[in-house]
C-alpha cells in the first residue's frame, strides 16, 4: 500500500498549489482540526444547555464560515473550469479576496471567543464584501459560458441567494446584540431561527443537493432516477424555508410545523435519489465517496424522522432548544460534514485526472483504486460519525463527559483528515523528493 501511494505521488508530477487550493487547504488543514479541538470544551457547555454562550457561537462559526463555506468557495473555484468549461475571470484578484475573507472570519470567531462584538461586526462587514466579490467572480464565469449555464443545478442559484441573505442577517444580529436596537428580533430566539433557516437550510442544504445533482452522477457514471425529483426537493426546500421565515416572523406555529414536514419530505426524496445513483454506479471498487454518501442517507433519514415527528407534535414535552441543538449538530457535523469529506477523496483525484488528461502524459493518471479509498480515510469515517453520535447522546442526556468524548473522537478524525489531505506532502517536500510549485492560476 505504502509503495503504491509513493508511486502515485511520483507519477503525479510536481505538487502544485493554485488559488482554488488555498481555500480548500485552509478549510481542511486549519479550520476542520480547529473545529474539532474547540468542540471539546464547547461540548460541555452544550450538554449543560448553554446553546448561545459566546464560545459556542465561536465554534458554530468555525464550522459554518471557516469549514463549510471555505470548502464551497475552494471547490467552486477549482471545479468551475472542469464543470463549466470556463475560467474564473479576474482570478488575479482572488488572493485579495481570500485574504479579506479569511481575516474577516478570524475576526468573527475571535470576537465571539473573547466576547467582543466590535470584532464580530467588523468581521461581518469583511465577510459580506468578500462573499459578494466571490459571487461576482462565479457569476461572471457562469455567464461567460453562454448556453452551457443550463448545466448548473437549479438549487445552486437559490443557495447563493440564501448565502447573501444569511450574511446580511448575521451582521444585523451581531449589531442587534451589541446595540440592542431591535429587541423583538431577540425574543423567543426569532432572529436565530431566521438565521439558521437561511444558513443551514438555504445555503448548506440546497448547496449540497445542487452539488450532488451536478457532480455525483458524473463521478459514478450513473443517471439520476428523474430530474423532476430534483425539482421536487428544490420546491419542498424553498417552501419549507419560506414557511419557516413567515411562521417565525408572525409567530404562527402551524407554519413552522408545516416547514418541518416539508423539510422532512425534502430529506427523504434526497436520500432516495442518492441511493438510486449509488446502486447504479459503474464501478464496484472500494470508494470512500460512496461510503460517505450512504452515511449522508442515514443522516437524511434520521433528520427527516425528527422533523416529521416535531411537525406532528410528538415532541411536546421536549424543550425546543434542546431538540434544535441536537438537530443542528446532526445536520452540521453529520450531514454537511460527511458530504464534504466524501467529495474531498473523489474530487481531488478527479480534478487531477481532468487537468492531466488535457496534457500529453495521460499515461501518468493513476488507476489505483486505493486513490479513492485510503485506509486512514476509513478511520476518519468511523471516528467522525461515532463522535457525532456520542455528542448528540451527551446533549440529549445532559451528560457532559459523553458529549466531550464524542467531541474528542470528532477532533481525532479532523486531525487525521488534515494530516491525510493537507500535510502528508510536507515530509516529502522537506526531503526534496517531491517537487514543489506555486501556480498563479485558479487551476
- Cβ closer to ligand HEM: 194 or 277? 194
What minimum distance in Å lies between the beta carbon of 184 and ligand HEM?
12
- Cβ closer to ligand HEM: 204 or 372? 204
In this structure, the number of other CB atoms found within 10 A of the CB of residue 226 comes to 11
Burial 153-187 (b: 16+ CB within 10 A, else e): bbbbebbbebbbbbbebbbbbbbbbeeeeeeebee
- Cβ closer to ligand HEM: 52 or 276? 52
Burial 45-54 (b: 16+ CB within 10 A, else e): bbbeeebebb
What minimum distance in Å lies between the beta carbon of 280 and ligand HEM?
32
List interacting residues with ligand HEM (CB under 6 A): 51-52, 56-57, 60-61, 64-65, 69, 108, 120, 124, 127-128, 166-167, 170-171, 173-174, 177, 186, 191-192, 195-196, 199-200, 203-204, 328
Supply 274's cell numbers.
442518492
Supply 341's cell numbers.
469529506
Distance CA 384, CA 369 (A): 23
What minimum distance in Å lies between the beta carbon of 97 and ligand HEM?
15
Distance CA 391, CA 403 (A): 4
What minimum distance in Å lies between the beta carbon of 77 and ligand HEM?
18
Cα atoms in the Cβ-side hemisphere of radius 13 Å centred on 161: 8
Distance CA 48, CA 137 (A): 43
- Cβ closer to ligand HEM: 298 or 328? 328
Residue 314 CB-density burial (10 A; 0-12 exposed, 13-18 middle, 19+ buried): exposed
What minimum distance in Å lies between the beta carbon of 168 and ligand HEM?
8
What minimum distance in Å lies between the beta carbon of 245 and ligand HEM?
15
- Cβ closer to ligand HEM: 57 or 414? 57
- Cβ closer to ligand HEM: 112 or 269? 112
- Cβ closer to ligand HEM: 176 or 348? 176
What minimum distance in Å lies between the beta carbon of 209 and ligand HEM?
15
What minimum distance in Å lies between the beta carbon of 198 and ligand HEM?
8
Range 226-229, long-range pairs (CB < 8 A, 24+ positions): 229/269, 229/272, 229/273
What minimum distance in Å lies between the beta carbon of 178 and ligand HEM?
9
What minimum distance in Å lies between the beta carbon of 358 and ligand HEM?
35
In this structure, the number of other CB atoms found within 10 A of the CB of residue 433 comes to 11
Distance CA 299, CA 286 (A): 21
- Cβ closer to ligand HEM: 318 or 328? 328
Query: Please, are residues 86 and 60 in contact by the beta-carbon 8 Å criterion?
Result: no
Nearest Cα to Cα of residue 422 among 366, 358, 331, 348: 348
Distance CA 211, CA 243 (A): 24
One DSSP character per residue, 238-251 reads HHHHHHHHHHHHHT
- Cβ closer to ligand HEM: 199 or 334? 199
- Cβ closer to ligand HEM: 127 or 411? 127
CA 235 to chain CA mean position, Å: 21
Strand partners, 437: 16
- Cβ closer to ligand HEM: 68 or 342? 68
Query: Please, are residues 34 and 386 in contact by the beta-carbon 8 Å criterion?
Result: no
What minimum distance in Å lies between the beta carbon of 181 and ligand HEM?
13
Judged by DSSP in three states, 438 sits in strand
Task: Report CA dihedral (227, 346, 23, 405) to the nearest 10 degrees.
Answer: 100
Amino acid at each position: 500500500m505504502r509503495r503504491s501511494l509513493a508511486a502515485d505521488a511520483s507519477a503525479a508530477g510536481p505538487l502544485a498549489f493554485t488559488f482554488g487550493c488555498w481555500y480548500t487547504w485552509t478549510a481542511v488543514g486549519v479550520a476542520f482540526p480547529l473545529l474539532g479541538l474547540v468542540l471539546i470544551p464547547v461540548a460541555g457547555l452544550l450538554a449543560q444547555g448553554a446553546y448561545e454562550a459566546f464560545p459556542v457561537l465561536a465554534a458554530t462559526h468555525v464550522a459554518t464560515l471557516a469549514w463549510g463555506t471555505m470548502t464551497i468557495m475552494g471547490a467552486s473555484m477549482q471545479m468551475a473550469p472542469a464543470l463549466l468549461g470556463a475560467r474564473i475571470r479576474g482570478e488575479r484578484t482572488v488572493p485579495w479576496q481570500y485574504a479579506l475573507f479569511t481575516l474577516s472570519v478570524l475576526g468573527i470567531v475571535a470576537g465571539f471567543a473573547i466576547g467582543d462584538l466590535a470584532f464580530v461586526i467588523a468581521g461581518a462587514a469583511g465577510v459580506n464584501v468578500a462573499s459578494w466579490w466571490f459571487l461576482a467572480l462565479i457569476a461572471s464565469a457562469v455567464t461567460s459560458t453562454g448556453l452551457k449555464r443550463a448545466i448548473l443545478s437549479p438549487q445552486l442559484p437559490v443557495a447563493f441567494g440564501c448565502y447573501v441573505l444569511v450574511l446580511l442577517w448575521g451582521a444585523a444580529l451581531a449589531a442587534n446584540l451589541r446595540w440592542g436596537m431591535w429587541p423583538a428580533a431577540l425574543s423567543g430566539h426569532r432572529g436565530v431561527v431566521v438565521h439558521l433557516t437561511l444558513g443551514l437550510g438555504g445555503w448548506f442544504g440546497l448547496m449540497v443537493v445542487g452539488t450532488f445533482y451536478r457532480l455525483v452522477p458524473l463521478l459514478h457514471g450513473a443517471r439520476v432516477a428523474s430530474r423532476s425529483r430534483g425539482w421536487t426537493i428544490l420546491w419542498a426546500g424553498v417552501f419549507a424555508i419560506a414557511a419557516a421565515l413567515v411562521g417565525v416572523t408572525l409567530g404562527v406555529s402551524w407554519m413552522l410545523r408545516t416547514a418541518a414536514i416539508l423539510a422532512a419530505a425534502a430529506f427523504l426524496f434526497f436520500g432516495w435519489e442518492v441511493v438510486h445513483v449509488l446502486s447504479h454506479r459503474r464501478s464496484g471498487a472500494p470508494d470512500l465517496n460512496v461510503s460517505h454518501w450512504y452515511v449522508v442517507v442515514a443522516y437524511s433519514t434520521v433528520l427527516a424522522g425528527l422533523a416529521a415527528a416535531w411537525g406532528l407534535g410528538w415532541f411536546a414535552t421536549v424543550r425546543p432548544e434542546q431538540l434544535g441543538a441536537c438537530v443542528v449538530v446532526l445536520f452540521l457535523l453529520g450531514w454537511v460534514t460527511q458530504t464534504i469529506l466524501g467529495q474531498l477523496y473523489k474530487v481531488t483525484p478527479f480534478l487531477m485526472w481532468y487537468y492531466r488528461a488535457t496534457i500529453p502524459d495521460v499515461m501518468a493518471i493513476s488507476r489505483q483504486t486505493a486513490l479513492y479509498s485510503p485506509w486512514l480515510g476509513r478511520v476518519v469515517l468511523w471516528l467522525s460519525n461515532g463522535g457525532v453520535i456520542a455528542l448528540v447522546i451527551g446533549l440529549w442526556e445532559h451528560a457532559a463527559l459523553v458529549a466531550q468524548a464524542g467531541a474528542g473522537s470528532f477532533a481525532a478524525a479532523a486531525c487525521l483528515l488534515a494530516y491525510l489531505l493537507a500535510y502528508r506532502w510536507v515530509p516529502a517536500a522537506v526531503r526534496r523528493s517531491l517537487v514543489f510549485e506555486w501556480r498563479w492560476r485558479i487551476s
